Amino acid sequence: MMMMRYLPLALIPAVCAQQHTFEAQQQEPWTAKYGTQTDLGYTGPLSYSHLPYTRCLDDISTTFDIAVLGMPFDTATSYRPGARFGPYAIRSGSRRQSPAGGYALNWMTNPYSHAKVIDCGDVPVNPYDNALAIDQMETAYTTLLSRPVNGSASTRTAKLAHDGAEHPRILTLGGDHTIVLPILRSLHQVYGPISVIHFDAHIDTWPAGALSGVLTEQSKVTHGTFFTLAFEEGLMSNTSIHAGIRNKLHGPELIEHDEEVGFELILADDIDDLGTDEIVKHIRQRIGDSPVYLSFDIDTIDPGQAPATGTPEPAGWTGRETKRILRGLAGLNFVGADIVEVAPAYDNADITGILAAGLADDFLTLFVTDEPPKRQVKQKRALKDDL
């Protein structure tokens, strides 16, 4: 160390830096002994499924085929607020998922192996001014939708973009359901009117003002009226469909309005009469080839399996039934998807966040697969043979 005193001053920092790196590699006890270890489920910074995390809105050079994007907006809810923590809860619920361990037996594929999928972080939505927040969400969505695709692998791409270009797909983590209005506005610029497959306990097609009494223009924009507003703006085609509905209404006339908005209705109870396969057929027939957006309200699922949501309704579908229906939809022309209304303050043992993360994984798989998996189920031996 005495030598240092005689070195020309300008050289000292460079020499020290070099020496430090060299010593780090040679002498640091952790790497010397354990090398480089990957993160465990419960270690590391939080991103969806441990995907690379980039603030894509700020970093113009980032390209991707599929982006996960949080929209922590919850200031247009009618009952229990708290879905601004949905993106956090879904990412946290995804900690046991990872690209390296992403092979799903029921799908027979790993969605992360088909495309460049990254977590683009959250839109920093304003919590004080809903009009501003909605504009921020539309602007953010349009920004990512306009990025060139990475094309790093054999991505199945949405077919019918208006402008003839290939666009990335975005999986949005809500947020209350209102976030779909700015998303549909943005998608409309690229795809024109699109169909929606809407999983929910509630129709969300209340006439504008039905929830607020039209006190102001802005109070029309809620998590129960956004589809009506989207219809009035011409953003949707007339071949959309609901699945899982069981909310109560003031009267049956609201269903006529719902049909006008463009929806067909599959009730939660229909699963007992039709079964999952028949429900899949209904949805596929309704949607056909049209560009379709998948919007999934976590309150579709029975509150026993997904209690952490703003407006829970009893007697919904199970996670297993729903995942089976989702697999049946592979090959439709999905242009985007979301999972909304996860409000973790009402959760127990993270069960809602974990289920929401698993469903989001299915949405990613729908973006990259061409047809439902054809898994052969081995006939189980009858019990009497063993006797």
Ligand X SMILES: *[C@@H]1O[C@H](CO)[C@@H](O)[C@H](O)[C@H]1NC(C)=O
Q: Can you say which residues are annotated as belonging to the binding site for Mn(2+)?
A: 177, 200, 202, 204, 297, 299
Residues linked to residue 181 through DSSP beta bridges, in sequence order: none
Q: Cβ closer to Mn ion: 112 or 231?
A: 231
Tell me the HSE value of 244 on the side-chain side, using a 13 A CA sphere.
29
- Detail the residues annotated as belonging to a binding site: 177, 200, 202, 204, 297, 299
Contact partners, residue 289, CB within 8 Å, separation at least 6: 159, 160, 333
Which DSSP letter does residue 209 get? T
Q: Cβ closer to Mn ion: 104 or 210?
A: 210
Kind and range of the H or E run holding 12? helix 12-27
Stretch that binds ligand X, among 6-14, 146-154, 179-187, 330-338 (CB under 6 A): 146-154
Contact (CB, 8 A) for 360 and 199: no
Residue 204's binding partner out of ligand X, Mn ion, none, with CB under 5 to 8 Å set by partner kind: Mn ion
219 binds ligand X per the rule CB under 6 A: no
Q: Cβ closer to ligand X: 28 or 59?
A: 59
Within 268-327, the residues that bind Mn ion by CB under 5 A are 297
Of 110, 113, 142, 150, the one binding ligand X (CB under 6 A) is: 150
CA distances from 167 to 68, 141, 153, 320 (A): 14, 12, 14, 31
Residue 177's binding partner out of Mn ion, ligand X, none, with CB under 5 to 8 Å set by partner kind: Mn ion
Residue 297's binding partner out of ligand X, Mn ion, none, with CB under 5 to 8 Å set by partner kind: Mn ion
Beta-carbon count within 10 A of 47 CB: 18
| DSSP code per residue over 48-96 | GGG--B--TTT-TT--BSEEEEEE---TT-SS---GGGHHHHHHHHTTT
Place of tokens 């010397």: 32
205 binds ligand X per the rule CB under 6 A: no
Cα angle: 166, vertex 168, 171; to 5 degrees: 150
Distance from C-alpha of 334 to C-alpha of 356, rounded to nearest angstrom? 19
167 binds Mn ion per the rule CB under 5 A: no
Beta-carbon count within 10 A of 288 CB: 11
Of 50, 84, 91, 116, the one binding ligand X (CB under 6 A) is: 116
Residue 150's binding partner out of ligand X, Mn ion, none, with CB under 5 to 8 Å set by partner kind: ligand X
47 binds ligand X per the rule CB under 6 A: no
Of 43, 154, 238, 285, the one binding ligand X (CB under 6 A) is: 238
Torsion of CA 284, 286, 287, 288, to 10 degrees: 70
142 binds ligand X per the rule CB under 6 A: no
Contact (CB, 8 A) for 183 and 336: yes
Distance from C-alpha of 363 to C-alpha of 339, rounded to nearest angstrom? 9
204 binds Mn ion per the rule CB under 5 A: yes
Q: For the window 239-268, what string marks contact with ligand X as x by the rule CB under 6 A? A: x-----------------------------
CA distances from 6 to 9, 11, 13, 17, 19 (A): 8, 11, 14, 18, 17
Distance, C-alpha 229 to centroid of its chain: 22
Residue 151's binding partner out of ligand X, Mn ion, none, with CB under 5 to 8 Å set by partner kind: ligand X
220 binds Mn ion per the rule CB under 5 A: no
Residue 139's binding partner out of Mn ion, ligand X, none, with CB under 5 to 8 Å set by partner kind: none
218 binds ligand X per the rule CB under 6 A: no
Of 74, 200, 338, 362, the one binding Mn ion (CB under 5 A) is: 200
Residue nearest to ligand X (CB): 63
Smallest distance, Å, CB 231 to ligand X? 12
Of 53, 54, 63, 209, the one binding ligand X (CB under 6 A) is: 63
> Hey, is 156 helix, strand or coil?
coil
Stretch that binds Mn ion, among 12-20, 50-58, 197-205, 330-338 (CB under 5 A): 197-205
Residues interacting with Mn ion, by CB under 5 A? 177, 200, 204, 297
Residues interacting with ligand X, by CB under 6 A? 63, 116, 150-152, 238-239
